Structure 1
Amino acid sequence: MDAKRLRLETGEQCYRERGPHDQSGGPTLVLLHGISSSAGSWARLAERLPGYRLLAWDAPGYGDSHPLANEAPTAADYAERLEAWLAALGVERCVLVGHSLGAMMAAGYLAAHPGRLAGVVLADPAQGYGEAEPARRDEVYRSRWTQLEAQGHAAYARARAPRLLREGADPADIARVEAEMHKLHVEGFAQAGWMLANDSLGRYLAATPAVPALVICGDEDRITPPEDARALARRLALPYRDIPRAGHASYIDAPAAFARAIDDFARPLLGAVDSSATP
């Protein structure tokens, strides 16, 4: 995926792109990474979706993307940066794929800007702690960025990366997750941690979404367990799909199965897609 950047009114927005560059109105998937990751984490999945224009952002405060102005942001704040970025790219219609904390951002975007969306995928969705007691919210907020600050990137990544994948994960996949964690910035990580601790997906998706949506989850996810994802799908009356032999970072553990799930969902919503997708 090619690394690119745009200057928006709210600051620099960096992203990666793969696919036909002249198809701004063509079949487009927009990929939102989770709290410990970045745009580069989608590289192996991108190889399995050749028929689509793929746009993967570095969330505000990640990579070289400027942090949000609000030091205590909600999913709605991330959604406004997302809207500015998609508008600047000329994306008129897309399927939004949000992984983990990215699923909360996708929910915030869907609530505010449904007209740009053909569909939404909530993958291994983090649902947030906004309804928890204050002490629990504070614990969640401080549970990641403070460790990164205290331990440094190498130690934090070694300790954390294996938990995002299935038991017995490919060492190369663990190394990929560690490499993305080495790119984290404390400021952006802390902002995302605030959103996770103090906002909730349910604030944006209180009922069945206004556009087609799908919930998917790795069947060995230890971070956002499948039973929680299934319960979310039931509450919203949405279809649910397991990703076999996959942990929380299901698109890294099982990119072919993840790509099939995305393609099966997105193809009828976006129209013509190269039939060579998802080998």
Structure 2
Amino acid sequence: MDAKRLTLDSGAQCYREQARPEPAPTLVLLHGISSSAGSWAKLAEWLPGYRLLAWDAPGYGDSHPLANEAPTAADYAERLEAWLAALGVERCVLVGHSLGAMMAGAYLVAYPGRLAGVVLADPAQGYGDAEPTRRDEVYRSRWTQLEAQGHAAYARARAPRLLRAGGDPADIARVEAEMHKLHVEGFARAGWMLANDSLGRYLPVAPAVPALVICGDEDRITPPEDVRALARRLALPYRDIPRAGHASYIDAPAAFARAIDDFARPLLGAADSAEKP
């Protein structure tokens, strides 16, 4: 995936793109709190029939942070809309992983016209309805450790938990490499959103566009039982990703790609495209 950069009114927005020589249906990929656009590179090999756009969320990579130091998912959705509008994306399936699922939910409510569908992958549901002490604990649980420990120690300790137990060392190294790119400022603002907002504020009932919920069956961050409960509450289809942890698209890219393709293909008119690289 090629690294690219746009200048929006709100500042630089960086992203990666896997383009196609012919017009191709578009998937937009939103990473989680400890990651960045580069984390989707392994999955991209399994989705050859799509144009893939993966952003570095505001405050990640070289993307300009949000002006709001205490942002909501709606603030991220506003930047997402500006980026997609600047790229001329008229119709897409939005894939939000973990914290990206909260951003996807907020975007769906505010800008449904650009969406053919939404995938909530290993979705974080947020702590906005928790007690203040719990919200403060969640807010300070990540960026303060990064600041105190440094990138190398933080990544070594945290990366294995995002994958299945006994995960591929190469995949662990991939997750660690993405964590080395974190900026404390952007990480802290994303942590504020996780702690003080919630997916339920945007999706209290079934969404207005087609949606799918998926989760790694060995996810230790957003446990499958919680994600299944979300799917039941929203009356949405649910799909397991076998032998996969929280970063299910890294642990099991073929199965993740097949789930995305099965969902997106009829919505976008794509040819069957989830293939072995």
For the aligned pair, the TM-score class normalised by the smaller chain equals over 0.9
- Whether the aligned pair in 1 keeps the contact of 2:50 and 2:273 (CA below 8 Å) is no
Q: Per-residue displacement from partner, 1:20-66 (whole Å, max 9, x unpaired)?
A: xxxx9741000000000000000010000000000000000000000
Q: Distance in 1 between matches of 2:271 and 2:13?
A: 28
In the aligned structure 1, how far is the partner of 2:275 from the partner of 2:95? Answer: 17
> Is the Cα contact below 8 Å between 1:74 and 1:195 reproduced in 2?
yes
CA change 1:275–1:122 in 2 (3 A) is closer
CA gap of 1:67–1:115, structure 2 versus 1, over 3 A, is same
C-alpha deviation, 1:244, in angstroms: 0.2
Indicate conservation of the 8 Å contact 2:98/2:121, yes or no: yes
Equivalent residue number for residue 177 of structure 1: 175
CA change 1:93–1:228 in 2 (3 A) is same
Structure 1 equivalent of residue 24 of structure 2: 26
Structure 2 residue aligned with 1:193: 191
CA contact (8 A) 1:25 1:91 kept: no
Return closer, same or farther for 1:64/1:214 CA change in 2, 3 Å cut-off: same
Residue-pair matches, total: 274
| Separation in structure 2 between the aligned mates of residue 178 and residue 134 of structure 1, nearest angstrom | 31
- 1:162: which partner in 2? 160
Change (3 A) 1:167 1:275: closer
Q: Post-superposition shift, 1:273?
A: 2.9
User: Displacement of 1:275 after TM fit?
Assistant: 4.5
Does the 8 Å CA contact 1:27/1:273 hold for their aligned counterparts?
A: no
The alpha carbon displacement at 1:274 in A equals: 5.7
- SS at structure 1 position matched to 2:95: strand
Pick closer, same or farther for the CA change 1:264–1:152 going to 2, 3 Å: same
Q: 1:138 to 1:275 in 2, by over 3 A?
A: closer
Deviations 1:212-247 (A, max 9, x none): 000000000000000010000000000000000000
Structure 1 residue ranges (4+ consecutive) displaced by more than 2 angstroms after TM superposition: 272-279
Per-residue deviation at 1:278? 5.5
Distance 2:51 2:40 in 1: 13
Partner SS state of residue 109, structure 2? helix
Contact 2:162 2:247 in 1 (8 A): yes
Query: Could you list the per-position Cα deviations for residues 58-82 of structure 1 after superposition, in whole angstroms to 9, with x for gaps in the alignment?
Result: 0000000000000000000000000
Q: Secondary structure at the match of 1:197?
A: helix
What is the CA distance between 1:272 and its match in structure 2?
Answer: 2.9
Q: 1:91 aligns with which of 84, 89, 95?
A: 89
TM-score where L is the length of structure 2: 0.97
Instruction: Give the C-alpha shift of residue 173 in structure 1.
Output: 0.4
CA contact (8 A) 1:124 1:218 kept: yes
| CA 200–91 in structure 1, closer or farther in 2 if over 3 Å, else same | same
Aligned-residue CA RMSD (Å): 1.1
| Partner Cα distance (1:226, 1:278) in 2 | 26
What is the SS of the residue equivalent to 1:36?
coil
Q: Is the 8 A contact 1:259 1:278 kept in 2?
A: no
Identity of aligned residues (%): 90
Asked if 1:67 corresponds to 2:76, the answer is no
Structure-2 residue corresponding to 1:249? 247
Q: Gaps (5+ residues) in structure 2?
A: none
Post-superposition CA distance 1:101-148 (Å, at most 9, x none): 000000000010000000000000000000000000000000000000
**Gaps in structure 1 of 5+ consecutive residues:** 19-23
- Give 1:155 shift: 0.2
The answer on whether the counterparts of 1:209 and 1:236 sit within 8 Å (CA) in structure 2 is yes
CA contact (8 A) 1:52 1:273 kept: no
Q: Deviations over 1:162-206 (max 9, x none)?
A: 000000000000000000000000000000000000000000001
2:258–2:274 CA contact under 8 A, matched in 1: no
The alignment partner of 2:134 has SS state of helix
Tell whether the 8 Å contact from 1:50 to 1:278 is kept in structure 2 after alignment.
no
Structure 1 residue matching 2:259: 3-state secondary structure: helix
